[in-house]
Structure 1
Amino acid sequence: MAITRRHFLQSGAFATVAPALGAAAVFPSVGPAAAQTASGEPAWRHALSLFGDIKYPADFKRFDYVNPDAPKGGIARMISIGTFDNFNTAVMGVKGSIAPAATIIYETLMTRSQDEVATEYGLLAESVAHPDDFAWVIYRLRKEARWHDGKPVTPEDVIFSLDVLKKYSPMYASYYRHVVKAEKSGDLDVKFSFDSPGNRELPTIVGELTVLPKHYWEGTDSQGRQRDISATTLEPPLGSGPYRIKEFVAGRSVKLERVKDYWGASQATQLGQNNFDELRFEFFRDNSVALEAFKADQADWISENSAKQWATAYDFPAVAEKRVVKEEFPVNDSGRMQAFAFNLRRDQFKDARLRRAFNFAYDFEEMNKQLFYGQYKRIDSYFSGTELASSGLPEGQELQILETVRDKVPAEVFTTPYTNPVGGNSEAVRANLRESMKLLKDAGYEVRDHKLVDAAGKPVTVEILVQDPAAERIALFYKPSLERIGVTASVRVVDDAQYQNRLRAFDFDLIIDQWGQSLSPGNEQREFWGSQTADQPGSKNTVGIKNPAIDALIDKVIFAKDRAGLVAATKALDRVLLWNFYVVPQFTYPFSRYARWDRFSHAEPLPKYGRSGLPSLWWFDADKAAKIGKRS
């Protein structure tokens, strides 16, 4: 299951996707209701679950973690790092830089509760039905669901959305690869047919579909020009959610206003949420500049991704006076891999021994001490921080799965637990560098005149492409280590637009990348590591992995029949990814760091899988605001 719109808001707008603390659970039931009615037809359900019993009954009034009496009003000013030149989500990741506000204005068929691991309740859809073999699913829309222009949300909108998202977005094309058809099956019903039965996740991920307005995109703009959903646009699009775009300054700011007649305001999944009258996003190219704006009370809260700044930069008077609150929120809903990622489309990176040598050259422990005040932990899994992470040697069901690809994976998968090299002192660093040089020698490289060259005498050169000063610091620390093994290394800093364009064209040697993982991996793994997406511009398979063993293991994940099988298949996939050394793993931190001006409140306690809950679960607190003074 992919990282959802809520995660995108938290990660893209003002936070970092951080790893989860693992959560054990049994594998799905798809809900407590009977799978079929007495007539043999699939039962209609108000919710779907991937992990067990559904907490809230069909007639529930609200989620437990919200305040149904939360006051409406006030403004929330948020910080986004980067820029934007696009509001069209259909080409997100392919063309332009998307504004996070563009994702907030839309609704999905279902929405997740934040106090359950993986349960979705109806939003645009009032109910859902599927057979026991998961060969198809039908979603029934709510009669009251409306676009902001007052027109109803229709099955035609849903069908249109699936078609255009699959057509123009490599991410959605991969994610919904097994959804072969969507068709109207009733006045308010849409039936999605799958290419084969047995994929338990498909009914649920269809519920995550962002629904776009067909009539809007097939119409004309205020100038009479035909809209083009395959192109970027800065025309504020028509949405169906609790907020709409009020105004913006291209590349600099976006203001959203709460829709006063929002059709879903009284829905159980929405009650007590979306409390601010206005959401403002201010864009900054640099974290340090953003922090100065926050200190000057130009923003209400800030997500801090720099360990150094968290430790040293928050000693200004407002913190001492407790007008600004520092707080860390545990991240329990996801895992991740963050790493230096190779571009396997470059010939010099095709040899796994060279890639592994780069890992031996990376002294994480010294970097952690010098740059991060010892706050971070080295990542050793593509599912770091979850129960899905592999460890030790494979056994049981995981071993059985790996046996099916034994002839296609490194032998060490079966014989040696994966570990990263450990540095931090001169003796350990020298030992790691010796191991690095041994690997390079075995791969046919040698050092001539202090330069590493291949068998043909061609020097090994690497450009690390980054887009912000924080990433530049990390890359610059790594650069001298690479030079110690003879690699000619450089660091190139480019702006956000150029960075995205180069990624889409796969025009890089080494980048710093990250892949967020849910607690229930599935179809998105094709987008991350599948051969089919390796050459698709804009895909998340930035490494360019084309490996039949990994493709086979992704299928094992997707078609797992129970929770135990899913965990075993994911661990097997993780282990094979690690032993191919596609990346040099970096570091992780199991909390989101926030500082905020103390003008806001939220219901207690925050939900376990909701991170900070910002901004949807918070509200403007007039009493607190009066105590700390007016905004600047």
Structure 2
Amino acid sequence: MPRAQTRAATRPSALAPLPLWLTTMTISVLALLAGSATAQEQKVIKSHGYSFYGDLTYPENFEHFDYVNPDAPKGGEISLPFVGTLDSMNPYSGKGRAHLFSIFGFESLLGEAPSGEPLPADVYGESYCLLCESLEYPEDKSWVIFNMRPEAQFSDGTPVTAHDIVFSHNLLLDEGLKSYADAVRKRIPKVEALDDHTVKFTFADGISRRSLIETVGGVPAWPKAWFEETGNGLKDSWMDPPPGSGAYMVESVDLTKRIVLKRNPDYWGKDLPINRGRMNFDRIRLEIISDDTSAFEAFKAGEYTFRAEGDSKKWATGYDFSKVTDGDIVKAELPDGSPPTPSGIIFNLGREALQDRAVREAVALMFNFEWTNESLQYGLFNHRASFTQDTPLMAQGAPEGAELALLESLGDLVPAEMLSEPAVVPHTSDSSRLLDRRNARQASKLLEEAGWTVQNGMRVNEAGEPLRLNFLMNSSGSPTISAVIENFVGNLTSIGIDARLEKVDSSQYTARERDRDYDMIYDAYAAFLGTGTGLSQRYGSEAAEFSLFNPSGLASPMVDAIIEASLDAETAEEEDAALMALDRALRHEFFMIPTWYNDSYWVAYYDQYDHPEEIPAYALGYLDFWWYDKEGAEQLRASGALR
């Protein structure tokens, strides 16, 4: 589907692709209209899947998702790089550095792609039963019951039961991320195993029902017996993780070299319609490499076989070696229908100097996207403006209609200029030179007005303290991004800001990122196509002080009110208006310098893989619904392109 598809095509209800248990971490408090019917009088809906509006694309008897090849062969291996260092196989505690591979073995009641992409990948905001065979809930969504599949089992052969679901839910509350536990404990007060294969979640009164069912349906299922026998918990590193019920299990782990997953030959769910045409590789291998330059050389040598490219210089100039020109490696741009990730240079709003919007605007003016794109990135990118870029939810011009009415209803929370002026867009710069003198003069004026004058070439406040900004970077990251930031820092110093680029190794970077030990950082938030309680986790005030998913520490009463309005929407049209207003508000708050985006996936891979002719809108899916071409692999080995 194209990026600017109509909302009628898909009814999203959550954030952009991430695992459901992460994306629905926080539940926003909203008053619900009291219904006249009692719980006993309400109609109970029983279904094979769930969406907030009740519309499901796939019927109960569907055979497979439309975008997969239902006859895709099983077999072979796909191998990928990880740049940096890892020290754990437990991603749930918030401690240590674990890879996405560490969640592959775990399933949930409602199906998710193990790679963290949406499932299904051709529609948004719909979930279908995996560990459950059906779910039921009343019209007011005050509770949900999951009827589990009795045949589901962990890789050690023990059954997955309702008791394991209850245990996993409570373990996340007791030992998981604080932002998740604090919110869920208040909003989901009761979970109970009605029998071995029936689990019921009861939701608190007087709160929004948005994302509650997806939240509990997305909890990873862990075997209660394993934790009791080993004494392990979420606070431990898990070098040898618990058995999961998923299609893949850990074959070997050496966190200095590689992680290897193998397909469970006894996987209980291999014949389910939700899984047909998916999870086709026998093995998935991750090669752990210290830096991106070494990782690229390893790809050229055939040490791994699939590379999702993010470096524009490499994409433009690095793929001219013989394996590409001879056709052994496929270099392709594949369509991406999701809104681009809102990445950019993020301000730590906890820093006193950066709490002044004028200072942030002055700093932003020193980023020259046009020169960066032409000189360092080969003109391959577009300048991102929006958190819902290139979708119908992108705020453009001045607000009108339902969006304007919503903003006006919020009173003094909304600045007057937001009601009459166009949505904030990035400044433009001279592409012919790194330092745009016009923007530098404007930045200097803003700093002067904010009380940062020049003394001996340095910006200082009334107390004579310098305006010092530390930019934290991962030393193992892309050399191109490093060059971009180095030039940006150079521009800042040219107007008297004591700006410093600090490169640290992966483990230090992770620890300092979690502690918000930086003034600026290159990071990302999540795009959104629909509302969901995960919006509060990303952009809301409730967990702003410590949320790992809000790197700026944004805490805006206006943003909170708009998120609440989106959750309170009773129609798709009301939801759309609220989300457009949210995009406008986030851009107004100016906590990020938006950088660039690409509307395609850049991939390079040895010619031994195949994929559906049409890539679905919301996932590239190379770890999900691509498959191994045995004949192509044999030709590569016969030619010596691969060992």
Fold similarity call, TM over 0.5: yes
Deviation (angstroms), 1:39: 7.7
Question: Equivalent residue of 2:402, what SS?
Answer: helix
The farther-off stretch of 127-136 and 188-197 is: 188-197
Question: Equivalent residue of 2:279, what SS?
Answer: coil
* Equivalent residue, structure 1, for 2:26: none
Note the alpha carbon deviations across 1:412-471, whole angstroms, 9 max, x for none.
212321121100247992222222122212211111121111222211011110113423
User: Which of 506, 531, 545 is the aligned partner of 1:535?
Assistant: 545
Check if 1:559 corresponds to 2:589: no
* Equivalent residue, structure 2, for 1:608: 617
Check if 1:487 corresponds to 2:497: yes
CA contact (8 A) 1:410 1:579 kept: no
* Equivalent residue, structure 1, for 2:142: 135
Check if 1:405 corresponds to 2:410: yes
Question: Equivalent residue of 1:526, what SS?
Answer: helix
Deviation (angstroms), 1:554: 1.8
- Letter aligned with residue 445 of structure 2: K
Distance across 2 between alignment mates of 1:173 and 1:382: 27
Distance across 2 between alignment mates of 1:76 and 1:227: 31
The farther-off stretch of 622-631 and 324-333 is: 622-631
* Equivalent residue, structure 1, for 2:627: 619
Question: Equivalent residue of 1:477, what SS?
Answer: helix
- Letter aligned with residue 104 of structure 1: F
* Equivalent residue, structure 1, for 2:429: 423
* Equivalent residue, structure 1, for 2:60: 58
Superposed, which structure 2 residues align to 1:369-388 within 5 Å? 369-388=374-393
The farther-off stretch of 194-203 and 127-136 is: 194-203
Equivalenced residue count is: 601
The farther-off stretch of 419-428 and 159-168 is: 419-428
* Equivalent residue, structure 1, for 2:166: 159
CA contact (8 A) 1:25 1:51 kept: no
CA contact (8 A) 2:526 2:538 kept: no
Distance across 2 between alignment mates of 1:407 and 1:440: 27
- Letter aligned with residue 416 of structure 2: A
CA contact (8 A) 1:198 1:561 kept: no
* Equivalent residue, structure 2, for 1:272: 277
* Equivalent residue, structure 2, for 1:262: 267
- Letter aligned with residue 97 of structure 2: S
* Equivalent residue, structure 2, for 1:24: 6
Check if 1:204 corresponds to 2:186: no
Distance across 1 between alignment mates of 2:255 and 2:210: 42
Deviation (angstroms), 1:64: 2.5
Distance across 2 between alignment mates of 1:597 and 1:289: 18
Distance across 1 between alignment mates of 2:564 and 2:376: 40
- Letter aligned with residue 107 of structure 1: E
In the alignment, structure 1 segments of 5+ residues that lack a partner are 1-18, 31-35, 221-225
- Letter aligned with residue 591 of structure 2: Y
Distance across 1 between alignment mates of 2:608 and 2:473: 35
Question: Equivalent residue of 2:74, what SS?
Answer: coil
* Equivalent residue, structure 1, for 2:51: 49
* Equivalent residue, structure 2, for 1:15: none
Question: Equivalent residue of 2:525, what SS?
Answer: strand
Question: Equivalent residue of 2:550, what SS?
Answer: coil
CA contact (8 A) 1:170 1:539 kept: no
* Equivalent residue, structure 1, for 2:100: 100
Question: Equivalent residue of 1:185, what SS?
Answer: strand
Question: Equivalent residue of 1:595, what SS?
Answer: strand
* Equivalent residue, structure 1, for 2:523: 513
- Letter aligned with residue 419 of structure 1: V
* Equivalent residue, structure 2, for 1:230: 235
* Equivalent residue, structure 2, for 1:118: 125
* Equivalent residue, structure 1, for 2:317: 312
The farther-off stretch of 590-599 and 226-235 is: 226-235
* Equivalent residue, structure 1, for 2:354: 349
Distance across 2 between alignment mates of 1:116 and 1:59: 18
User: Which of 626, 634, 637 is the aligned partner of 1:629?
Assistant: 637
- Letter aligned with residue 137 of structure 2: H
Distance 1:265 1:39, change over 3 A: farther
Distance 1:617 1:171, change over 3 A: farther
Question: Equivalent residue of 1:130, what SS?
Answer: strand
Check if 1:526 corresponds to 2:536: yes
Distance across 2 between alignment mates of 1:41 and 1:464: 56
Deviation (angstroms), 1:52: 6.9
Deviation (angstroms), 1:70: 2.3
State the superposition RMSD in angstroms.
2.5
Question: Equivalent residue of 1:629, what SS?
Answer: helix
User: Which of 233, 245, 248 is the aligned partner of 2:250?
Assistant: 245
Deviation (angstroms), 1:214: 1.8
* Equivalent residue, structure 1, for 2:202: 193
* Equivalent residue, structure 2, for 1:169: 177
* Equivalent residue, structure 2, for 1:458: 465
Distance across 2 between alignment mates of 1:618 and 1:402: 45
CA contact (8 A) 2:12 2:530 kept: no
Note the alpha carbon deviations across 1:356-395, whole angstroms, 9 max, x for none.
1111121111111111111111111122233222111111
CA contact (8 A) 1:302 1:596 kept: yes
Deviation (angstroms), 1:309: 0.6
* Equivalent residue, structure 2, for 1:13: none
Distance across 2 between alignment mates of 1:606 and 1:542: 32
Distance 1:380 1:178, change over 3 A: farther
Distance across 1 between alignment mates of 2:218 and 2:402: 30
Distance across 2 between alignment mates of 1:496 and 1:96: 11
* Equivalent residue, structure 2, for 1:449: 456
Distance 1:161 1:404, change over 3 A: farther
- Letter aligned with residue 283 of structure 1: I
- Letter aligned with residue 105 of structure 1: G
Note the alpha carbon deviations across 1:25-52, whole angstroms, 9 max, x for none.
248599xxxxx99985412100123577
- Letter aligned with residue 347 of structure 1: E
Question: Equivalent residue of 1:219, what SS?
Answer: helix
The farther-off stretch of 401-410 and 262-271 is: 401-410
* Equivalent residue, structure 2, for 1:7: none
The farther-off stretch of 350-359 and 132-141 is: 132-141
* Equivalent residue, structure 2, for 1:572: 581
- Letter aligned with residue 412 of structure 1: E
Distance 1:437 1:412, change over 3 A: farther
Using the size of structure 1 for normalisation, the TM-score is 0.90
- Letter aligned with residue 481 of structure 1: N
* Equivalent residue, structure 2, for 1:322: 327
- Letter aligned with residue 216 of structure 1: W
Using the size of structure 2 for normalisation, the TM-score is 0.88
The farther-off stretch of 418-427 and 105-114 is: 418-427
Deviation (angstroms), 1:409: 3.7
Distance across 2 between alignment mates of 1:173 and 1:248: 30
Note the alpha carbon deviations across 1:149-187, whole angstroms, 9 max, x for none.
111111122122222223421453477463333222344
The farther-off stretch of 259-268 and 488-497 is: 488-497
Question: Equivalent residue of 1:206, what SS?
Answer: helix
Deviation (angstroms), 1:305: 0.2
